Amino acid sequence: MTALALAPGAPARAHDDCPHFDLDDLLASVEDVDVIVIGRVVTLDGAPAIDPEAYLRGSAVAGPLPLIDDSDCDLAAIPAEGARVVVALRREARGFQWPIPAALFVVENGAAANGGSNAVELPEDELVSRIREVSGQYAVLAADPSEGASIDWARVVVPVALAAAVILAIALVLLRIWHRIEPE
């Protein structure tokens, strides 16, 4: 039995030494990582990184997620640049901890396969659906700045402001009429 380690500002994890990822215990696995991302392997400043397409857990961050190899854990072999992956990562100070073999699924021809001693292969759709059932998330990054959150002045703010002004004017007229009827 692994004890939970609680430190100020640090999330509680069932396995603090190395990340845990097991499809048979997906709830604990999803809680044990900070980010689960679908993306492509890229090189960033000479080191591997994941260029995200969608997030299945964690904050959706635009831009590549750098992988840091400073762990004593059993680490996955990073696939070739351009390979599509579904990967579960822990956040570190300078990026994300290099994934363990069970947490790195390489997607080829619609099938997702991970490495390690208990290798698993299943359809990408099934893997994504199973993770989404637990995390409840599927966040896709905006393709350009126009897709970001903004205020539509012409179709929202102006009509609402006009409606508020009309309601206020009607309220003032009714208040004036009421004061004529009942001055006290």
Asked if residue 16 has pLDDT above 60, the reply is: no
Higher-confidence residue of 180 and 158: namely 158
Asked if residue 3 has pLDDT above 70, the reply is: no
Confidence of residue 146 (pLDDT cuts 50, 70, 90): low
Q: pLDDT for 94-103, tens place per residue?
A: 888 888 888 8
Q: Taking residues 138-164, report their average pLDDT.
A: 82
Q: Which residues share a beta bridge with 139?
A: 55
Q: Taking residues 74-86, report their average pLDDT.
A: 89
Q: pLDDT for 85-118, tens place per residue?
A: 999 998 888 888 888 888 899 999 999 998 877 7
Average per-residue pLDDT for the chain: 84
pTM as predicted = 0.68
DSSP string, the chain: -PPP---TT----S-SSS----GGGHHHHHHT-SEEEEEEEEEETTEEEEEEEEEEES---SS-EEEE---SS-PPPPPPTT-EEEEEE-EETTEEEPPPGGGEEEEETTEEEE-STT--EEEHHHHHHHHHHHH---EE--SSGGGS----IIIIIHHHHHHHHHHHHHHHHHHHHHHHH---
